[in-house]
């Protein structure tokens, strides 16, 4: 969604190259990444946001559903510890944004894990078996690429009703395509290596070879792609929640908070501004990290 096809192809290409790279090339890449201030800064900011969203809901004096009648839609103030103000029900926005972050980040990670499992399995199988099976499996991927994937998720939600686990599954189930392509390419190149041939020669079974030799070798490039899939999925979740098709009250997420804020923008703009800022900062961080990884792996690009 955030990626153009070209960037995607390039990254795929890159990732395939990086998997083969020797130890020292990988070290070089890490070194280049460390020198990238924007990317390293982003890593720290993300860690801080994660820690805040994990611990603030536990430690903050206001709970996420505590309503206070004295403070209905009140602007940010230090006095009653309503740092980000309160919403129309007198609930503290600060703790809700942190809690929403917890949900959004979790969904971002979980959906990526789902996509990872499907994509890696699919890609290794297609790449390893090759031939007609591979042709057929990749044709399906091509067909799905042509779809507006968000619409498919919405269709899924319509069919089964809004349900947070369904959102997990739905997003993961449609966002694995690129992953499968990367893994397939990588598998095809690993497959021809001597150690795999010798594993075949000594009679190891196919599933065992895939698990023991192929998967460990394709995991490197996949990790890089994961950094780029998490923000995409967070946006997808926010989009769904914004439309009322994702996370439902009393649970909350950045998308849902933004949606509620958007309706009260003329009376209580802070309700939009704070969750939106957190979402945007997170997106920036992931983007910087993604760019950083790309540059680190391909020094030719300035």
Partner 1 sequence: MIRYIIDRLMGAIPTFLVIITGAFFLMRLAPGGPFDDLADLPPEVLANINQAYNLDKPLLTQYVLFMKNAVTGNLGPSFSYQDYSVSELLAIGLPVSIKLGLTALTIAVIIGAIVGILAALRKNTAFDYTIMGAAMTGVAVPNFVIAPILMLIFGIYLKILPISGWNDGALNHMVLPVTALAIPKIAIIARLMRGNMLEILRSDYIRTARAKGMRESVVITRHALKAAILPLVSYLGPAIAAIMTGSVVIEMIFGLPGVGRYFVYGAINRDYPLVMGIVVFYATAIILLNLLVDILYGVLDPRVRQEKTP
Residues in contact with partner 1 by CB under 8 A are 1-2, 4-7, 140, 143, 146-148, 150-152, 154-161, 235, 238-239, 242-245, 255, 258-259, 261-262, 265-266, 269, 272, 276, 279-280, 283-284, 287
User: Which lies closer to partner 1 via its Cβ, residue 60 or residue 288?
Assistant: 288
Beta carbons of 90 and 67 less than 8 angstroms apart: yes
Taking the complex as a whole, how short is the minimal distance between the CB of residue 255 and partner 1, in angstroms? 8
User: Which lies closer to partner 1 via its Cβ, residue 164 or residue 235?
Assistant: 235
User: Which lies closer to partner 1 via its Cβ, residue 21 or residue 276?
Assistant: 276
Beta carbons of 83 and 76 less than 8 angstroms apart: yes
User: Which lies closer to partner 1 via its Cβ, residue 7 or residue 198?
Assistant: 7
Written as six digits, the tokens of 55 are: 């611990």
Taking the C-alpha atoms of residue 105 and residue 91, their distance in angstroms, rounded to an integer, is 21
Taking the complex as a whole, how short is the minimal distance between the CB of residue 93 and partner 1, in angstroms? 16
Taking the complex as a whole, how short is the minimal distance between the CB of residue 291 and partner 1, in angstroms? 9
4: region left, alpha or beta (phi > 0 left; psi from -120 to 50 alpha): beta
Written as six digits, the tokens of 107 are: 């969904």
User: Which lies closer to partner 1 via its Cβ, residue 96 or residue 191?
Assistant: 96
Beta carbons of 50 and 260 less than 8 angstroms apart: no
Taking the complex as a whole, how short is the minimal distance between the CB of residue 276 and partner 1, in angstroms? 4
Taking the C-alpha atoms of residue 99 and residue 84, their distance in angstroms, rounded to an integer, is 13
């Amino acid at each position: 969604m955030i990626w153009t096809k070209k960037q995607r192809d390039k990254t795929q290409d890159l990732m395939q190259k990086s998997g083969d790279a020797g130890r020292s090339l990988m070290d070089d890449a890490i070194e280049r990444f460390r020198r990238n201030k924007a990317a390293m800064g982003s890593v720290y900011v993300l860690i801080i946001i994660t820690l805040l969203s994990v611990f603030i809901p536990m430690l903050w004096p206001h709970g996420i559903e505590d309503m206070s009648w004295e403070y209905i839609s009140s602007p940010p103030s230090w006095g009653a510890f309503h740092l980000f103000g309160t919403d129309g029900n007198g609930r503290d926005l600060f703790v809700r944004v942190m809690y929403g972050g917890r949900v959004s980040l979790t969904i971002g990670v979980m959906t990526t894990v789902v996509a990872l499992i499907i994509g890696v399995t699919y890609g290794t199988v297609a790449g390893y078996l090759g031939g007609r099976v591979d042709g057929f499996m990749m044709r399906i991927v091509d067909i799905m690429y042509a779809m507006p994937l968000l619409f498919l998720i919405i269709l899924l939600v319509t069919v089964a009703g809004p349900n947070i686990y369904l959102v997990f599954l739905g997003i993961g189930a449609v966002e694995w395509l690129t992953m499968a392509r990367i893994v397939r390419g990588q598998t095809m190149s690993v497959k021809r290596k001597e150690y795999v041939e010798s594993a075949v020669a000594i009679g190891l079974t196919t599933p065992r070879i895939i698990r023991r030799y192929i998967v460990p070798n394709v995991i490197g490039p996949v990790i890089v792609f994961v950094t780029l899939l998490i923000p995409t999925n967070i946006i997808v979740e926010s989009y769904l929640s914004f439309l009322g098709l994702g996370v439902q009250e009393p649970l909350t997420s950045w998308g849902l908070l933004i949606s509620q804020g958007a309706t009260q923008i003329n009376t209580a703009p802070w309700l939009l501004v704070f969750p939106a800022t957190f979402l945007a900062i997170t997106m920036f961080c992931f983007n910087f990290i993604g760019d950083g990884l790309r540059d680190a792996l391909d020094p030719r690009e300035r």
